[in-house]
Structure 1
């Protein structure tokens, strides 16, 4: 397997982690949702997605996967941070 193909696979995996975060968000709605678990899952998936996007760009030199991976997973990470901030405000 050459670097270009492996980079493309990693880029698609980065986008899949973003989509998986969105699916988990819609599955975990309601008053009984565990916010701490959601924040943890969103953070871990988005950090992995950002890492995979950068690695895919280094291997395949395709800018599309880098931009989509960074913007999408960065938005999920920002959402997780806002959730963490809201939990901290509500506890005080």
Structure 2
């Protein structure tokens, strides 16, 4: 169940990505959202692996949430470089 929640958090990040886009988006809201959801997804994937030993949910959850965590980090880095 926790592995499914981890994958569900990846899907929520994808939905937020497609809903909140454009030139007038609050980028710090996206950074916080991706960061929090990704960290929760990684924790759920690890707990899923510890409790049920099913590797497929763990691998998909870790890779998907890791990608969005890296995306949030790159957005934060770009905002730090872009501001005067």
Q: Which of 42, 47, 54 is the aligned partner of 1:50?
A: 42
TM-score normalised by L of structure 1: 0.90
- The TM-score normalised by the length of structure 2 is 0.98
Whichever of the two has the greater Rg, that structure is: 1
| In structure 1, C-alpha distance between the alignment counterparts of 2:74 and 2:14, rounded to whole Å | 15
Count of aligned pairs: 84
Structure 1 residues not aligned, in runs of 5+: 1-8
Identify unmatched segments of 5+ residues in structure 2: none
Which consecutive segments of 4 or more residues in structure 1 shift more than 2 A? none
Q: Quote the RMSD (CA, aligned, Å).
A: 0.5
